Amino acid sequence: MPIKPASAALLSLFAATILLAGCEQQSAPPAQQTPQVGVVTLEAEPFALTSELPGRTRAYRIAEVRPQVNGIIQKRLFTEGSEVKAGQQLYQIDASVYEATLKSAQASLASSKSLADRYADLVKDQAVSRQAYDEARAAALQAEANLEQARINVRYTKVLAPISGRIGRSAVTEGALVSNGQADELATIQQLDPIYVDVTQPARELLALRRDLAEGRLQKASENAAKVTLTLEDGSQYAHEGKLEFSEVSVDTGTGSVTLRAMFPNPERILLPGMFVRAQLVAGVKSEALLVPQQGVTRNTKGDPVAMVVNAENKVEMRQLKTERTVGNRWLVSEGLNPGDRVITEGLQFIQPGVEVNAVPAGNVANGNGAAAAPNGQEG
């Protein structure tokens, strides 16, 4: 039976209505879900503020060995690079001329003293004048002084070590002519145990440290304030702990820094003068420091450090921070955050300020051993 035109038009309109309703239903957006983020709740903790500064080792004492009489070197009595003791003989200078002078001085003293003794008896009887006696006595004293000088010169032909320490290479060999007061040293002795380490610190850091101590933001580290540890040039840790001796009283105008000197025991002679080291100095203790995981600190368009925080309404806030330094895998933050703040470290790519989120303990934060934290937020 043929369909009437009116019925066909009605069927077409009904089919179009159903198709349009189906398209509208398919294009409807899904319900918005609350994003989930991982957070770390900040807690204040005591933190020892240390400064790592570059430095160079310096010998505790240095003695440049020089001759005190003229002559020819006859013997060298030490091994280059060995340890020598104070008073140990290092060189022998030809002493023949000085020994002859010594004998002559002994003879002059005997003659002068004999004459002075005879005049002492004669002056009592007024057989000689008082002036003649005084001249004879003065000549005897002069002869005694000449004898002492001759003995000193003979002693100086034995060049002795002025200090104990390690002696370097010899600048002269047997047969070399040396002279009293020469500019070139025969050898150099350096005392290496203990040994100094000189480090430099920018004056601005020293000022900031003193200001924090004065205003109570930083406490003195008591006895630990004088202790220093060393990292050697190959990255290894030096076994012995040193002690801070002094800081320079003036600022270097070229570098704007002050020099700090520490003293270290060096029984194994591992530290040698001129070595580059890095010294860790305990400057003070922050009683309520905030250490924020590095995953939770980012940078804004200006390059300033910022952190995303979940507030009491479970909404995201952006905080601008002031960071002082990195401490392992965390930032030491001085401004912008408070104890109890929930800092977002996971899911930052899905949020923006003002968005409501579902906060759970973060699972991407490493503990002190470098292992990832457990999902419940507690360190394993």
Contacts of 137 (CB under 8 A, 6+ apart): 116, 119, 120
Identify the band that residue 326 occupies on the pLDDT scale cut at 50, 70 and 90: confident
Share of the chain above pLDDT 90, in %: 46
Identify residue 327 by its one-letter amino acid code: V
Comparing 1 with 279, the larger pLDDT belongs to: 279
What is the structure's pLDDT at 287?
Answer: 75
Identify the band that residue 190 occupies on the pLDDT scale cut at 50, 70 and 90: very high
What is the pTM (predicted TM-score) of this model? 0.64
* Torsion angle in degrees (nearest 10) through CA of 97, 100, 101, 103: 160
Looking up tokens 């955050």, which residue turns up? 337
What is the structure's pLDDT at 260?
Answer: 83
Comparing 179 with 9, the larger pLDDT belongs to: 179
Domain annotation for the chain: domains and CATH numbers:
36-48+288-361 (2.40.420.20), 50-59+191-283 (2.40.30.170), 71-93+160-184 (2.40.50.100), 95-156 (1.10.287.470)
- Minimal CA–CA distance to 218: which of 206, 230, 227, 229? 206
What is the structure's pLDDT at 325?
Answer: 81
For residues 190-210, give the mean pLDDT. Answer: 84
Indicate if the pLDDT at residue 216 is higher than 80. Answer: no
Identify the band that residue 225 occupies on the pLDDT scale cut at 50, 70 and 90: low
Comparing 303 with 17, the larger pLDDT belongs to: 303
For the ranges 36-50, 71-85, 283-297, 358-372, the lowest mean pLDDT is seen at 358-372
For residues 174-178, give the mean pLDDT. Answer: 94
- Alpha-carbon span 347 to 36, nearest angstrom: 7
Indicate if the pLDDT at residue 217 is higher than 80. Answer: no
User: pLDDT tens digits, residue range 1-31?
Assistant: 454 554 554 445 555 555 555 554 444 455 5
What is the structure's pLDDT at 380?
Answer: 31
- Tokens at residue 361, please? 């303990």
